[in-house]
Amino acid sequence: MVNMAVILCGIAMPNPVIAASGTFGFGEDFARLYDINCLGSFSMKGTTLSAREGNPTPRIAECASGMLNAVGLQNPGIDKVISEELPKIGEFYHRPVMANVSGFSVDEYAEICRRLDGQAQVGWIELNISCPNVHGGGLAFGTSPHSAAQVTRAARRATVKPLIVKLSPNVTDIVEVARACEAEGADGLSLINTLLGMRLDLKTRRPVLRNITGGLSGPAVFPVALRMIYQVYQGVRVPLVGIGGISSAKDVLEMMLAGATAVQVGSANLVNPYACRDIIKALPDAMADYGIKNLNDLIGGAH
């Protein structure tokens, strides 16, 4: 018998596998296919203060070993998430969920966190700081340690729930940003968000995506994500959630060895809607192959 249970920021999970925001919606479609209570948790669709239709199409492009997306945070807004989506989630998922929060100003992040603070179904709040700061020249909050610290500080004051900041890889030194978030009260960090990329259509000689650029995800980014988890683990003391190209049980083990307490599975869900379930089922055998009896003993073992 192996132990797959982990504790993320004080909340117990039966296993470390979380379905990533943006690839799992609010869970309802997947719950029609299998019992998603097998998941450690799932991170809800990125939520903003007001409803958003997202970017114009085309906003998805395939590429070797991955995909580009420029969906643009399409979501119903925080009020409908609280009044409609969370009650529905409670009908088919009986563990705490992760609320992924996006904003275009510090005040917007803080207000969403304030509204989520009293929601029992929400275990963790995950701050997506890859959004453009409309009051700061349009640069993403996560590209600067100062702005990352600013939004983390505001969110920390707005909620008592465990706060996990999702870091952008599109920076010179991700460890510096991680430390800034930790210093302002982040309980954990999730990394990485997507890498900036683009594709060109040879027939039209124009960008494939209407937005021109999009976020690269999938197996192609796994080595980058693994490297950044390894580096950030050495620089902070809070738990980490590893994200980026995870598509197998062995990927989970490798990410935990680098320093992750839990992982998020993203693009794999779009290729195979049973991906999270299949990875969880395969974990005990993968652990046995490498003589691992307790996943907690693996965390950060590469250091």
Residue with tokens 């990410």: 255
Say whether 62 sits in a helix, a strand or coil. Answer: strand
Say whether 220 sits in a helix, a strand or coil. Answer: helix
Q: Where are the beta strands (DSSP E) in 53-121?
A: 60-63, 66-69, 97-101
**Partners of residue 6 on adjacent β-strands:** 13
Buried b / exposed e over 233-253, threshold 16 CB at 10 Å, is beebebbbbbbbbbbbbebbb
**Partners of residue 163 on adjacent β-strands:** 125
Could you check whether the bond before residue 162 is cis, i.e. omega within 30 degrees of 0? no
Distance, CA of 15 to CA of 295 (rounded, Å): 9
Of the candidates 9, 113, 131, 181, the residue annotated as catalytic is 131
Task: For residue 11, give Cα distances in angstroms to 24, 40, 273.
Answer: 21, 10, 26
Q: Annotated catalytic, 63?
A: no
Catalytic positions are 131
